[in-house]
Chain A
């Protein structure tokens, strides 16, 4: 196997997994898959349909648990029983469905499930929200991430375009993903211009130091954004490529099994 950038070999991975196995009935989705994400990088995960991409991501985000194999976060072994466990550990996932509430405004969506409450009894007993503070901090946060596409934080999400909704979901993940952000097909439903906006946001996240796992079918954007590319094939990691030393043709060839890694 070939590691794209040798410099990473000395660093400790933020998130890693060894020999993950997961079967759904008779179908073996993962057959001893390994995974490594290093600090400050964008790692793309590519693979054909049925290669075990989503099973791998589900294990890492706590949406399902592997039958065997181990997951390490910052070198410590972790076990996720639910997405909440992974969130609590600092891993945020942006699902393809985005998981936003359309009728609620941007600020409410950013803080959905972790609303900022007023201090004192009002907050602890009645769960009275500090709406002004939530809006203020949401605005600051969006500005800090340099997301220009979201202007009015009180706008309902259903009035936003697909790219803007994606930006809301990514901003939320970045706000609470203290260790890792996982993005599942962030540009799949978007047009060319909106994809470019989302790509810019993803780069900004990396520049803020957040390591990112990017699952994508979109080869050009994978090669544009990724520092390293994890190729998943037949339930295993077939190779790790670098966009500098490999071409899209190489990646596709390994992905489809036309060429050995």
Chain B
């Protein structure tokens, strides 16, 4: 066996040619396919949880897990596109809650036609993205600080608009459409889950197959290089934040359908959960690396851990502990595979 034929890649003739170790090979494979790691973690952890508690793979439990993942999956999708540009969005949850209150408020309190109220909520969500995008591009505020500011602003606006009320649409209201369940045997698929999957397909296509997507990666990778090759980086970043905002708006609608009402009293961990899903899914916080499929795996992993540990009878705090460890492990792996060299 010759030494130089061991790798399919080319590169210069190796100077101190040494046979690749198993670690090297894993590093290369993960570098080429960053969503492979999360997939492996997802499958193995699911199997382990099922061995611990046989109800894990039951149709009922799988249905519930998918329903739970729909909203966080959508938020993580928007978050992913922003993280790919080396940005971060701390206002995801606040933007979604604001959009949700506007949708329900316009339909139920102001008496707008439901479709128009939903459109109004989507527009509000889009504007939240526009505000974040303008802060980052026009006013050169680092995304971390800009969205920390808008986190406060959007949260306050949502609370002011809601005025402490919980708005509950009556049964059959179109606002609840994403919560509709489609029965497939004993498995029930929520419409919102389908909405989420369709959006993953659309965004995945845009990132992987269009020039826009290529530019998202280039800007996240090296913004100066992107500018020098003639990419309008400000316009691109703006489009990314607006797209993310629109996705948060759709997440707001799914949230109303899933829960059955609109209230500002929603988990405060939405922001971090969306980042967690992306990071566990192999999306690099340094930008330019990762795919949305990985984020979907990441969101599922978080859900599988929460659900599996609960079924195993483990206390809440250990679920948080596990999630925290997963994030640290994911970032450490990312740092490692970014060092790859042939």
Contacts and interface: CB of A to CB of B under 8 A. Distances in A.
A160 B9 CA distance: 10
20 contacts: A83-B228, A99-B225, A100-B222, A100-B225, A101-B217, A101-B222, A103-B288, A104-B214, A127-B210, A127-B211, A127-B212, A129-B211, A149-B12, A152-B9, A158-B341, A159-B340, A159-B341, A160-B342, A161-B12, A163-B12
Contact of A113 (B231, B289, B340): B231
A128 interface: yes
A114 B11 contact: no
B209 interface: yes
Interface of B: 8-12, 31, 206, 209-212, 214-215, 217-218, 221-222, 224-226, 228-231, 288-289, 340-342
A179 interface: no
A9 interface: no
Contacts of A126: 206, 210
Q: What is the predominant secondary structure among interface residues of chain A facing chain B?
A: loop
Given A99-B224, A155-B342, A161-B11, 14 more contacts: A83-B230, A97-B224, A99-B229, A101-B225, A101-B226, A101-B288, A103-B217, A112-B226, A113-B226, A113-B231, A129-B211, A149-B12, A158-B341, A159-B9
A131 interface: yes
Nearest to A160: B11
Contacts of A104: 214, 217-218, 221
A84 interface: yes
A84 B230 CA distance: 6
A236 interface: no
Contact of B221 (A84, A103, A155): A103
A257 interface: no
Contacts of A127: 210-212
Interface in A117-131: 117, 126-129, 131
Interface string A157-184: 0111101100000000000000000000
A113 B229 contact: yes
Given A95-B228, A113-B230, A160-B11, A101 B209 contact: no
A118 B25 CA distance: 35
Contacts of A164: 11-12
Contacts of A55: none
Contacts of B9: 152, 155, 159
A127 to B, nearest CB: 4
